C-alpha cells in the first residue's frame, strides 16, 4: 500500500512540475516569476493557514477566486492562459470538485491518495517545491533568461502527519480517524445522530490529535467524520480496520475489538 501511495505522489508531483513550468513560460522576467511563485504560496497559505489567535469556532475568510483574479489574472491577462489551461490551482484546492478534476486529469485512483493525504501533500511537498524554487529565483540576477529559471523535479517523500518523512507509515490520519470513530461509539456517541454536532466532534478530534486547521469546513476530520467508518473502498478499508482492531487488542479492550470486528464481518459479507 505504501508503494502504491508513493507512486501516486510521484505522478502528481511530476505533473505539477510540468504544469507549473508551462504556466511560467509566458513570464519573461525573473521578477514576474518571483511574483507568480509568491502568489501561489499566498494562495496555499490562504487555504491551509492556521491562526492560533482565533477561537476554534472562528473561521478564516479567504476568497480563492478573487485572490487569483486580483493577483494574477488582472495583472498578467493573456499571459495566464497556460495557468488556466493547466488548471494549476487544482493541485492546491482542497475541495472535492477540484480534487476530482485533478485526479481524473492524471488518471489517479483516488483511494490511494485520499483527502487527508492530499492536504499534507500540498503543504509539505508542493509548498516546499515552490519555496525552494523561489529561493533560487531570488538569487538570480534581474535579467536572467526565463530558461534558466525552470523548476526541475526532485525526489519526493510521502507526507504523513506533521512530518514529510514517515517514521511509522502504518500510522496515518485515516486510521486515526477510524480509531476516533470507534472510541466515540464506545463512549456512546453516534456521529450520525442529529443531536450531536459534527463541528463539536471535529473540534474535539482535532484537539485530541493536535491537527491544525483554518476553519471547520476545511478541517480534515470534518470532511470525513460524517462518512466514518466508510471512508475507503471495502477492500482497502478492511486493511485499516484490521489495524484498528489490533490496537484495541493490544490494550485488551473487548468492546473495541467486537465493534471493529462487526464492521469487518459486514464488509466481508458484502464482498462475498
| Separation between Cα atoms, residue 98 and residue 132, nearest integer Å | 25
Q: Give the C-alpha distances (Å, rounded to integers) separating 166 from 44, 65, 121, 159, 272.
A: 23, 34, 13, 7, 35
Phi-psi region of 179 (alpha: psi -120 to 50; beta: other; left: phi over 0): alpha
Interior angle at CA 109, CA 107 and CA 112, nearest 5: 135
* DSSP-assigned letter for residue 163: B
Spell out the domain ranges in the chain. 2-149, 173-271
| 91 C-beta neighbours (distance < 10 Å), count | 23
| 206 C-beta neighbours (distance < 10 Å), count | 18
Quick one: how far is CA 228 from the chain centroid?
Answer: 18
Residue of 255, 262, 207, 252 whose CA lies nearest to 229: 262
Highest mean pLDDT among 20-29, 74-83, 128-137, 194-203: 74-83
Q: Which has the higher per-residue pLDDT, 216 or 38?
A: 38
pLDDT band at 253 (very low <50, low <70, confident <90, very high): very high
What residues form DSSP beta bridges with 160?
Answer: 163
Q: Give the C-alpha distances (Å, rounded to integers) separating 165 from 125, 147, 157, 237.
A: 11, 32, 6, 23
Q: Give the C-alpha distances (Å, rounded to integers) separating 229 from 149, 193, 224, 244, 262.
A: 46, 15, 9, 11, 12
Do 115 and 223 contact (CB within 8 A), yes or no?
A: yes
| Separation between Cα atoms, residue 57 and residue 221, nearest integer Å | 15
Residue-wise pLDDT for 144-179, tens only, equals 766 666 777 665 554 444 444 444 556 677 788 899
What's the number of CA atoms in the CB half-sphere (13 Å) around residue 272? 6
pLDDT at site 88: 95
Residue-wise pLDDT for 98-118, tens only, equals 888 888 898 876 545 555 566
Amino acid at each position: 500500500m505504501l508503494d502504491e501511495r508513493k507512486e501516486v505522489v510521484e505522478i502528481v508531483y511530476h505533473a505539477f512540475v510540468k504544469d507549473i513550468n508551462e504556466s511560467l513560460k509566458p513570464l519573461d522576467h525573473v521578477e514576474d516569476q518571483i511574483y507568480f511563485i509568491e502568489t501561489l504560496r499566498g494562495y496555499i497559505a490562504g487555504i491551509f493557514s492556521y491562526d492560533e489567535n482565533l477561537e476554534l469556532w472562528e473561521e478564516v475568510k479567504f476568497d480563492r477566486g478573487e485572490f487569483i483574479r486580483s493577483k494574477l489574472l488582472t495583472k498578467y491577462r493573456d499571459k495566464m492562459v497556460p495557468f488556466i489551461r493547466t488548471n494549476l490551482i487544482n493541485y492546491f484546492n482542497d475541495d472535492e470538485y477540484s480534487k476530482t478534476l485533478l485526479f481524473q486529469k492524471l488518471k489517479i485512483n483516488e483511494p490511494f491518495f485520499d483527502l487527508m493525504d492530499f492536504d499534507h501533500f500540498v503543504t509539505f511537498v508542493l509548498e516546499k517545491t515552490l519555496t525552494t524554487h523561489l529561493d533560487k529565483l531570488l538569487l538570480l540576477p534581474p535579467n536572467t533568461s526565463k530558461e534558466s529559471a525552470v523548476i526541475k523535479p526532485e525526489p519526493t517523500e510521502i507526507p504523513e502527519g506533521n512530518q514529510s518523512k514517515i517514521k511509522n507509515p502504518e500510522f496515518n490520519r485515516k486510521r486515526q480517524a477510524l480509531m476516533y470513530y470507534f472510541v466515540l461509539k464506545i463512549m456512546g456517541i453516534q456521529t450520525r445522530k442529529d443531536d450531536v454536532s459534527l463541528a463539536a466532534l471535529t473540534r474535539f478530534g482535532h484537539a485530541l490529535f493536535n491537527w491544525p486547521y483554518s476553519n471547520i469546513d476545511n478541517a480534515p476530520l470534518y470532511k470525513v467524520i460524517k462518512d466514518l467508518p466508510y471512508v475507503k473502498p471495502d477492500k482497502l478499508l478492511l486493511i485499516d480496520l484490521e489495524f484498528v482492531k489490533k490496537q484495541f487488542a493490544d490494550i485488551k479492550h473487548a468492546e473495541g475489538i467486537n465493534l471493529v470486528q462487526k464492521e469487518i464481518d459486514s464488509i466481508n459479507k458484502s464482498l462475498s
